[in-house]
């Protein structure tokens, strides 16, 4: 699980788009590779990321991020 905060208002999907854009930029991925699976109107979201992102996220966990 990752905790992410964005400043966009949760209106008309803007906060969801901000989360996707932030993750894509941080992981050096195109936004089309980050897919919202569930949680469209919830604070808890499930996102589908490509397999290549797994090693980066594992590294974050090891460092305590």
pLDDT at residue 65 tops 80: no
From residue 3, how far is each of 35, 43 by CA, in Å?
Answer: 17, 10
pLDDT digits (tens, 9 = 90+) for 5-63: 999 998 999 999 999 999 999 999 999 999 999 999 999 999 999 998 988 888 888 88
Measured from the Cβ of residue 29, the count of other Cβ atoms closer than 10 Å reads 17
- With vertex at residue 31, the alpha carbon angle to CA 27 and CA 34, rounded to the nearest 5 degrees, is 70
The ranges assigned to domains in the chain are 14-63
């Amino acid at each position: 699980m990752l905790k992410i905060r964005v400043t966009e208002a949760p209106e008309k999907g803007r906060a969801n788009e901000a989360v996707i854009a932030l993750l894509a930029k941080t992981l050096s991925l195109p936004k089309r590779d980050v897919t919202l699976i569930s949680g469209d109107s919830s604070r808890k979201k499930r996102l589908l990321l490509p397999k290549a992102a797994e090693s980066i996220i594992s590294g974050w966990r090891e460092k305590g991020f």
